[in-house]
Structure 1
Amino acid sequence: MSFSQGLSGLNAASQALDVVGNNIANSQTVGFKSGSIAFADVFAGSQIGMGVQVSSVNQNFSDGVLGMGNSSLDMGIQGNGFFRLTNDAGAVFYSRNGQFKQDENGYVVNNQGMFLTGYQATGNPPTIQPGAPVGPIQIPNGQMPARASDAGSLKGNLNSETEAIDQTDPANAFDPSNNKTYSSVSQMDAYDSLGNKHTVNIYYVKTGNNTWKAYSSDATSPKLDDGGETLYGELDLTFTNAGELTTNSPNLNIQSAAYNGAAALNFNLDLTGMSQQASDTEMGSPTTTGYAPGLMNGYVVGDNGQIIASYSNGQSQLLGQVVLSNFTNPGGLSSKGDNSWAETPESGQPSTGIAGTGNLGKLLGNRLESSNVDLSKEMVNMIVYQRNYQSNSQTIKTQSELLQILANLG
């Protein structure tokens, strides 16, 4: 019987050394989770055991150290969760290895060619729609289309000491070509539907104590296509004796004629932030929506898994958002090699969502999670299992010697 005991011990120690060897071999594998072996004794209807057996090989899903990544698409997970991947056949796998790249079609894939999944941003500007399906994320390589300006705002101060202009006199009727008919002027940029840049002038005319008029004129495309009159926006501004704007809905309309085939500009400039004080007339930087087309300069992965691209027109936009999946029992996942696991009945069904929500951990861009193998611990385990192997072999040797002695007695 001691032969079988010793043999079972040799087999168990050998498998334990295999686990240790696999851990050491993968000590530099990104996202690798170390394994540990569990033993169980064997009894067969007697008080003397029949030896040992391997009951399971468990994986340790504790976090590895996060280090710097090597590319814009490298990602690391801190806490619970796995990257959700699919292959060409649509089978779903899970991984902690955040080494990703683009394939020839712009899809984000790992080194084995499996697709990273998440929410794809759509529309102009791109956004993630509520209820969007989870699927492979694709990074478009085309230019960012132009967006027409459809809103804007301007804050500033109008000098209360400015001399008023009597507009009841026909000679003082507003004329942008005659600087005697307005008190000051400022400029702002706007973009039409094709991305043409328009320079818009805003003229300010003091008409009396605490009253002003604002006019707008598109200097780039001021006249109608038939050469008709110039298009102007006009707004009355009224201030309190403390210099606060009291005009209801202080929106100055910005209009233009069609330009180079684009739709005409037509949006409102919000002047809510205007004031009137006894100091120089000074306008802050205007803000407007809209931009020219642009080529992609690059992209980054934000800490919540958003993939954001930057463009030559100074704009940035959302391309997609990576999702994470977690399981009630990660130890029940089935290892599939290539740093991936698959769902099993023991693991339970995945809970999938955005990083940092629910029980999902954080997702960090330009980071990689190193293997969680503790080399010092593995070296100690290797020595222990090696001695265990030698000890079991010694019991076999001793049993053999005892049998030889009994044979000689015969």
Structure 2
Amino acid sequence: MTSFYTSLNGLKNSQTDLSTIAHNIANAETTGFKKSSVEFADIVANGSAANPRMTQGLGATVAGINQNFGLGAIEQTGRSLDLAIDGDGFFATRNTESNQILFTRNGSFSINAAGGVTDFAGKSLQMFDVDAAGAVVNPGTTVDAVIPTTNGAGSDLASITIEKNGLINAAYADGSTEPVGRLALATFVAPTGLRPVGSTNWEATGFSGGAAYELPGTGRNGQLLSGALEKSNVDLAEEMVGLITAQRNFQANAKAIDTATQFSQTIINLRS
């Protein structure tokens, strides 16, 4: 009986929906996390010569798991190397071992002993080189963000400030301030085509297109907020409603299998 397989597909779809919702809930407090939702499509038995009035449905399938890149809540931290993007765009980081470029909305960065600005995994934040006036000298080409720990006069680094337009300024103990670079943000034609790789990182794919690097506040990029982090965009109330709906769908499909089983048992027990 096709009803068994139709309901079985429904059970599998409900499991996928439940797993996606559980993943969202588990990351409700993960900085820079973006929630996902499952999209379903129906399956029908049809052909060019078939009578459209006799088309039979065969259940549903998972059409895709869509990522929602809506802006999450902004939390003030007061730490200069905590960055949030007020709008579209991604921070770009480079794995110094594999040279792989990954993209993230998690703007929690720190400076290492060599002056490099890195994420918690040690990947280097990407920026544009600038001249002494803070103007970009090589648009479109990014480099690892490195803050000189001493200036030309030998004074030690005292503090770092990052402006809304991405300009990174280094202040030294002798009172001087120098522009170090302009932070680069990446945008994509189809960001939903990015592949999640864990730790709130994504990599570009053929579905997303290549990254376009621009300054914050230009094109589709949002401005930077220094001293702040973007929280997860998961709405727990919405996820709980979705959880209840997915649970009821699972129960309904299980009941349909139970009913089909009773039909089969009745047929088996027929006596001539």
Aligned counterpart, 2:201: 340
1:356-387 alpha-carbon deviations (Å, 9 max, x no partner)? 01221111111100111111100000000000
Q: 1:96 to 1:14 in 2, by over 3 A?
A: same
Q: Distance in 1 between matches of 2:235 and 2:148?
A: 41
Unpaired runs of at least 5, structure 2? 47-53
Q: Where in structure 2 are the equivalents of 1:213-232 lying within 5 Å? A: none
Q: 1:129 to 1:15 in 2, by over 3 A?
A: closer
Q: 1:379 to 1:343 in 2, by over 3 A?
A: same
Aligned counterpart, 1:351: 212
1:142-180 alpha-carbon deviations (Å, 9 max, x no partner)? 2x234xxxxxxxxxxxxxxxxxxxxxxxxxxxxxxxxxx
Q: Distance in 2 between matches of 1:65 and 1:113?
A: 26
State whether residues 304 and 364 of structure 1, in contact with CA within 8 Å, keep that contact through their aligned partners in structure 2. no
Unpaired runs of at least 5, structure 1? 147-292
Q: Which runs of 4+ in 1 moved over 4 A?
A: 125-129
Residue 70 (structure 1) shift: 5.8
One-letter amino acid matched to 1:375: L
Q: Distance in 1 between matches of 2:177 and 2:205?
A: 40
1:192-249 alpha-carbon deviations (Å, 9 max, x no partner)? xxxxxxxxxxxxxxxxxxxxxxxxxxxxxxxxxxxxxxxxxxxxxxxxxxxxxxxxxx
Residue 39 (structure 1) shift: 0.2
SS of structure 2 residue aligned to 1:20: helix
One-letter amino acid matched to 1:346: F
One-letter amino acid matched to 1:36: S
SS of structure 1 residue aligned to 2:45: coil
Q: Distance in 2 between matches of 1:129 and 1:395?
A: 64
Number of matched pairs: 261
- Percent identity between the two aligned chains: 35
Q: Distance in 1 between matches of 2:219 and 2:134?
A: 22
Instruction: Tell which structure's C-alpha radius of gyration is larger.
Output: 1
Q: Distance in 2 between matches of 1:135 and 1:371?
A: 28
Q: 2:108 aligns with which of 99, 116, 123?
A: 99
Residue 328 (structure 1) shift: 1.2
Q: Distance in 2 between matches of 1:15 and 1:345?
A: 24
Q: Where in structure 2 are the equivalents of 1:73-152 lying within 5 Å? A: 73-88=81-96, 89-121=98-130, 127-128=134-135, 130-131=137-138, 133-142=141-150, 144-146=151-153
Q: Where in structure 2 are the equivalents of 1:225-374 lying within 5 Å? A: 294-374=155-235
Structure having the larger proportion of residues in helix: 2
Residue 129 (structure 1) shift: 5.1
Aligned counterpart, 1:204: none
Q: Distance in 2 between matches of 1:56 and 1:324?
A: 27
Q: Distance in 2 between matches of 1:9 and 1:371?
A: 30
Q: Distance in 1 between matches of 2:155 and 2:112?
A: 23
Q: TM-score, normalised by structure 1?
A: 0.61
Aligned counterpart, 2:49: none
SS of structure 1 residue aligned to 2:31: coil
Q: Distance in 2 between matches of 1:373 and 1:96?
A: 14
Q: Distance in 2 between matches of 1:38 and 1:99?
A: 32
Q: 1:393 aligns with which of 238, 254, 268?
A: 254
Residue 62 (1) aligns with residue 106 (2): no
One-letter amino acid matched to 1:343: A
Q: Distance in 1 between matches of 2:34 and 2:123?
A: 20
Residue 121 (structure 1) shift: 4.5
Q: 1:100 to 1:294 in 2, by over 3 A?
A: same
Q: Distance in 2 between matches of 1:39 and 1:129?
A: 46
Q: Distance in 2 between matches of 1:76 and 1:339?
A: 14
Residue 409 (structure 1) shift: 1.6
Aligned counterpart, 2:266: 405
Q: Distance in 2 between matches of 1:85 and 1:294?
A: 29
Aligned counterpart, 1:237: none
State whether residues 305 and 365 of structure 1, in contact with CA within 8 Å, keep that contact through their aligned partners in structure 2. no
SS of structure 2 residue aligned to 1:43: strand
Q: 1:323 to 1:391 in 2, by over 3 A?
A: same
One-letter amino acid matched to 1:347: S
Residue 42 (structure 1) shift: 1.0
Residue 311 (structure 1) shift: 2.1
Aligned counterpart, 1:2: 3
State whether residues 128 and 182 of structure 2, in contact with CA within 8 Å, keep that contact through their aligned partners in structure 1. yes
Q: Distance in 1 between matches of 2:87 and 2:225?
A: 11
SS of structure 1 residue aligned to 2:118: strand
Aligned counterpart, 1:21: 22
State whether residues 112 and 338 of structure 1, in contact with CA within 8 Å, keep that contact through their aligned partners in structure 2. no
State whether residues 120 and 138 of structure 1, in contact with CA within 8 Å, keep that contact through their aligned partners in structure 2. no
Residue 110 (structure 1) shift: 1.0
Q: 1:81 to 1:401 in 2, by over 3 A?
A: same
SS of structure 2 residue aligned to 1:317: strand
Residue 295 (structure 1) shift: 2.7
